[in-house]
Chain A
Amino acid sequence: MKVQQLSIFLENRAGRLAEVTELLGKAEINIRALSLADTSDFGILRVVVNKPEKAVRILEENGFTVAGTEVLVVEIDDKPGGLARVLKILNARDINVEYMYAFMEKLTDRALLIFRIEDMEGAIELLRDKGIKILTKKEVSSI
C-alpha cells in the first residue's frame, strides 16, 4: 500500500531543479509526481518516480542528500468535493496530514493524490474501510 517517495535537499538557487530533473531524465527515470517546498534559503523536492532505487543511487552519486519517505497514493473522484471527502474522513479520526500533492497523470477519470501522514497504518485501514482506493506499489510503477 505504501509507496516510496524521494525527498531531495536543494539550495534555493537558479537551475538546481533543472539539474535534478535532467539527471533523472538521462537515466530514463520517469517522474510521476513532484512537489517543491521551499524557504528563502533552501527547499525540499519531493518526487515519486518509476524506479526509486535507481533514482536514489544516481542522485547520491551526484552528491545530493536524498531521503526515502513512505507515502500513500490515493484515488479520489475528480469532481468538486472529491478531496474534501477524503480529508473529512481522516479528520474525523484525528489523523494528521503532514503534506499532500497531486499526481501528474491519471489512470482513469479519477485524480491521484499523494498523502504524507504520520499514522500511515491507521490511515490505510480507515480509507479502505470507507471504500477509498489506495494504489499499490505495482500500480504506481505501471502508471
Chain B
Amino acid sequence: MIWNEQIEYLPPEKMERLQSERLRKLVKYVLNNSIFYRNLFKEAGISARDIKHISDLKKLPFTRKADLRDNYPFQMFCVPLREVVEIHASSGTTGNPTVVAYTKNDIKLWSEVMARTLAIAGATPDDIVQNAYGYGLFTGGLGVHYGALELGASVIPMSSGGTKRQLKIMRDFKSTVLTCTPSYALFMAEEAREMDINPRESSLRIGVLGAEPWSDGLRREIEAAWGMTALDVYGLSEIIGPGVAQECPEKTGLHIYSDVFFPEVIDPETGEPVEEGEDGELVITTLTKEAIPLIRYRIGDIVNINYERCSCGRTLPRISKIKGRTDDMLIIRGINVFPSQIESVLLEVEGAQPHYLLVVDRVKGLDTLEIQVEVGEEVFSDEIRKLQQLSEKIKKEIESVLALSVEVKLVEPKTIERSMGKAKRVIDKRKK
C-alpha cells in the first residue's frame, strides 16, 4: 500500500521544485518568527533574497544540538505557546533536556509521515498494530500511535515493558504488526519460548523496528524467530520523532521523506557534501515544520544516500542503515546516552575527576549498561558499608539522569585502560 502516491512517486524535477518553494517559504518564516535564526543568518550575512533554489541551502549555516540546549526551554519556538499542542523532551547531554514541540499542523505532519512509514512497511487499515514503543516524553510511542490512527489501522497502545502481558495480548488480539526496538522484539521472542509459546505461530507479519542501530544479522534472527518481515524505521525527536525514513520490503535502504525533511550527507570535518553513496554525517532541514523548524540540523549519524529510484517504484531517496556516530553517543534500549552525562554524575558524587568505563552488552536480546568506576584514594573507605553506599548512590543518580537502569561495579585503579593519556571510555560488546 502507498499512503501518498503523489509524493512518494514524484519525479525528481518536480520534487526539486516543491523543495525549493518550501525552502523559500521556510527562510522567510524563520526570519519573521525566530530570534535564533534571525541572528544566525545575520552573522552569516544571509538574507531571504540569497535563497531561491533548494541548492542554495548550502549557503545557510548549520544548526547543532548545542543550539537547542542553549535555547532551553522555549527560545527555539517560532510560534507563541498557545499554538503549541504537544511538547516532548529527551534526556540532555549536560543537564538540560532537548525540548521538541508541535503545533496542530506539526502533529498532522507527524501523522502523515508515520502513516507513510507504516504503509511502506506493508501495513494497511486491516492491521492490528501492537505498539510497544514507550509512550511518554519519548516520541516513539505517540509517533507510531498517530500514524496508525491516520492509516486507519487498529492500534494497541501497549507501551514498552510488561513482556508477559504483551505476549498474551498479542496472542489473544492477534496482532499483525509489532512496533518496538529490535532488541525488544528479540527479547520478546525468547520470553515467548520460555512461556512455551511458539513465536512463529503468532499472527505477526511485520515488525517496524527502530530507535537504535541494528545489523542485518539481527534482522535475520528476528525474522527467523517470529516468522515476520522486520524493517527499519528511522527518526529522531528533534526532527519529528519516528517517521523520518522507512525501509520498504526490498530492504535496500530507508526511504527518507525529502519533501518535508530535506537530507544532505556531509563530511563532518569540512561540512562539504560527500559524493552520492559515500558515508558522511546526515544533516536534515525540516521544510514545513512550524513550532521548531530546523535548518541544516547536524544529526551526528553516519549514513550514505542513494537517489536512484527504488525497485518498489518510490522516487524518495534512500539512506543506509546508521553506520556509526560522529560523536560518542550510545543508544541503549532506544535511549541516547552520552558518556559525558555519566562523567558529570561521577564528578559530582566523587568530587574528583573520575576514571570509568562503560560496558554495553546485549543479554537475551536486551541491552545492558555496566559502569565500572575506579576506586581511588578520594573515595576509598576502610568500611564495606560505605563503599556499597557509594556504589548505590552512583547507580541511583545515573539512573535518574538517564532514565535507564544500570549496573555499577567498583574496580581497582588503573584497571581501565589508558591510551595516549586519554582513557578508552566505552566497550560495546553488542557489535557483530
Decide yes or no whether B15 CB sits under 8 A from chain A: no
Instruction: Say yes or no: is A7 at the interface (Cβ < 8 Å to chain B).
Output: yes
Interface residues of A (CB under 8 A from B): 7, 9-11, 37-39, 41-42, 44, 46, 63-67, 69, 98, 116
Q: Most B CB atoms within 10 A — which of A44, A66, A69?
A: A44
Give me 20 other A-B pairs in contact (C-beta within 8 A), A41-B409, A65-B380 excluded: A9-B387, A9-B412, A11-B410, A37-B384, A38-B384, A39-B384, A39-B387, A41-B410, A42-B410, A42-B411, A44-B384, A44-B387, A46-B382, A63-B412, A63-B413, A65-B375, A65-B413, A67-B381, A67-B382, A69-B382
Report whether A98 and B412 are in contact in the complex, using a CB–CB cutoff of 8 Å: no
A41 contact set on B, CB distance < 8 A: 391, 409-410
Interface pair A9/B380, CB less than 8 Å apart: yes
Residue B168 CB within 8 A of the other chain: no
For A7, list chain B residues within 8 Å (CB).
380, 382
Structural contact, B412 and A67, CB atoms closer than 8 A: no
CA separation between A66 and B376, bound complex, in Å? 9
Can you list 19 A-B pairs with a CB-CB distance of less than 8 A?
A9-B375, A9-B387, A9-B412, A10-B412, A11-B412, A37-B384, A38-B384, A39-B384, A39-B387, A42-B411, A44-B382, A46-B382, A64-B412, A65-B376, A65-B377, A65-B380, A65-B412, A67-B382, A98-B383
Residues of B contacting A44 with CB < 8 Å? 382-384, 387
* A38, B384: Cα distance in complex, Å: 7
How many A-B pairs have beta carbons closer than 8 Å: the answer is: 48
| Most B CB within 10 A of own CB, among A37, A41, A46 | A41
Shortest beta-carbon distance from A34 to chain B in Å? 14
Closest to B381 in A: A67
CB-CB contacts below 8 Å: B398-417 with A: 409-415
Distance (Å) between the CB of B101 and the closest chain A CB? 44
A25 to B: closest C-beta gap in Å: 20
Residues of A close to B411: CB separation below 8 A: 11, 42
- Of all chain B residues, the one with the shortest Cβ separation from A16 is B412
Residues of chain A lying within 8 A (CB to CB) of residue B413: 63-65
Which residue on chain A has the smallest CB distance to residue B411?
Answer: A11
A42 and B387: CB pair below 8 A? yes
- Complex CA–CA separation, A130 to B384 (angstroms): 31
Q: Could you tell me the distance in whole angstroms from the C-beta of A17 to the nearest C-beta in chain B?
A: 12
Residues of B near A65 (CB, < 8 A) are 375-377, 380, 412-413
CA distance A41 to B377 in the complex (A): 18
Chain B residue contacts of A63, Cβ below 8 A: 412-414
Kindly provide the distance from the CB of A131 to the nearest chain B CB, expressed in whole angstroms.
29
Complex CA–CA separation, A58 to B382 (angstroms):
19
A116 to B382, CA, bound (A): 10
Which positions 348-404 of chain B face chain A at CB distance < 8 Å? 375-377, 380-384, 387-388, 391
How far in angstroms is the closest Cβ of chain A from B260? 50
